[in-house]
Structure 1
Amino acid sequence: MAELQKTRAGTRRHEIVEIATRLFLENGFAATSMSMVAAAAGLTKASLYHHFPGKEDLFAACVTDGYAAELSQLRTIAEDPSTPPPDKMRAALMALYDTIITSPVGRMSPLIAEVSRAFPSVARSFHDDYIAPQHQILARIIADGVRSGHFNDLDPKLFLHLVFGPIVTLSLSREMFATFADLDRYFPVTDLRDGHIDTLMRLLARSG
């Protein structure tokens, strides 16, 4: 019985996070109230506060929970002993694009930047629960590639900056100009993604 109640609570929490993510994307952080989330989720405010002590806690959950599946996917890629490092890296980069550019939580990048300044706890949670583990996973793939002779011995921090900078910039640009009818002409995800990944793989590749 206790296990069933725990499962139900986890499912309910996930539903609340999905609803809140949609409302944050539609209305922004400031204009999304706990009352709005509670009403959309069919809860009383008291019940919502039972799950999340405050709006910043709810927002942090939307961010970290939303990226949990992507982190799990990255770990699976990195830990597969049958896949060579170049294939792992390419798969990991594709996963990053899928999450940061196309997923609901990825589209929250502008809100994350805004809210993190006002609520340092959100910034800390986002960094510790998502950014740091993500960097560690990619650094592991790089290290495996260097050891196996597939990759050049590059500075991991510099390489990771080259990975994330263009992806985050593309995400922010597409959100900033989302009302453009010809958005894909200015910011074509597939072309930019493929060109970016090919460039990174050439930079990593060890010749000879």
Structure 2
Amino acid sequence: MASTKPLSRPADADEPAARRERRKEARPGELLDAALDLFVEKGFAATRSEEVAARAGVSKGTLFLYFPSKEELFKAVVRENISGRFGEWQDEFEKFEGTSAEMVRYCMRVWWERIGATRASGITKLMISEARNFPELAAFYQQEVIRPGTELIRRILQRGVDSGEFRPLDVDNSVYSIVAPIVFLIMMKHSLGPCSPQDYQLDPLRYIEAMADNLLSGVCARPAQEQRR
């Protein structure tokens, strides 16, 4: 006699269609999160597409539905976490009402809070270590991150020169007075720092404040206390 027991329904049969649709829409974000984690943990070359898909809980075919290659996936990670935010930062520059010295401090501190203190900071370390092996990605990173980043810093320094706050500067090269301490902090965070924490006990915000003090002592036309009079 055939069993009259009703067939069991799939676990998600009662799940509202809207919820399933939201999960589907969120899938690219989940893939980008998984890819960021793996790229930072293992580097670009060592990360395999199937690993990204597995960590995100989808098939490799689903991954390629959204991102046709690992290179395109990496570019999407960079845009999601760094370069896609330059519009926001440019808008903040335009609306900033403080002094140029205050803007330098704000720039360095906000970079740490929004990028340096997050997983995204590992992208910079990855590019430093692997750029020569992947020239197309290096060119992409140059176009999407380095150029707009250095141009924004250049505008901050030029604002100070034009207002008379800063002495005349070689602005193009002075940009790296801000970039270099930031890159050092990233390398400590993702390389020697975790290996020898007793030797590299850096408090990031104190470090940034000290670097800003040193930089501004060199570029300000007058001491900060005189400018406030």
TM-score by length of 1: 0.83
More helix by share: 1
Structure 1 pair 11/140, CA: closer, same or farther in 2 (3 Å)? farther
Question: Which is higher, the Rg of structure 1 or of structure 2?
Answer: 2
Structure 1 pair 91/76, CA: closer, same or farther in 2 (3 Å)? farther
SS of the equivalent of 1:30 reads coil
Shift of 1:48: 1.0
- Are the aligned partners of 2:109 and 2:205 in contact in 1 as well (CA < 8 Å)? no
Letter in 1 for 2:157: I
Shift of 1:99: 4.6
Gaps of 5+ in 1: 1-6
The reply on whether 1:171 has 2:175 as its aligned counterpart is no
Q: 1:180 aligns with which of 196, 205, 225?
A: 196
**Number of paired residues?**
201
Quote the residue 1:58 is aligned against: 73
SS of the equivalent of 2:82 reads helix
CA RMSD of aligned residues (A): 2.5
Percent of residue pairs identical: 26
Structure 1 pair 183/76, CA: closer, same or farther in 2 (3 Å)? farther
> Counterparts of 1:198 and 1:144 in 2: how far apart (Å)?
18
Structure 1 pair 11/79, CA: closer, same or farther in 2 (3 Å)? farther
SS of the equivalent of 1:135 reads helix
- Are the aligned partners of 1:70 and 1:99 in contact in 2 as well (CA < 8 Å)? no
Matches within 5 A, 1:88-167: 88-99=103-114, 101-167=116-182
Structure 1 pair 64/31, CA: closer, same or farther in 2 (3 Å)? same
Quote the residue 1:32 is aligned against: 47
Structure 1 pair 167/23, CA: closer, same or farther in 2 (3 Å)? same
TM-score by length of 2: 0.76
> Counterparts of 1:160 and 1:181 in 2: how far apart (Å)?
29
Q: Deviations over 1:141-183 (max 9, x none)?
A: 2222222221222111221111111221221123212133426
- Are the aligned partners of 2:166 and 2:221 in contact in 1 as well (CA < 8 Å)? yes
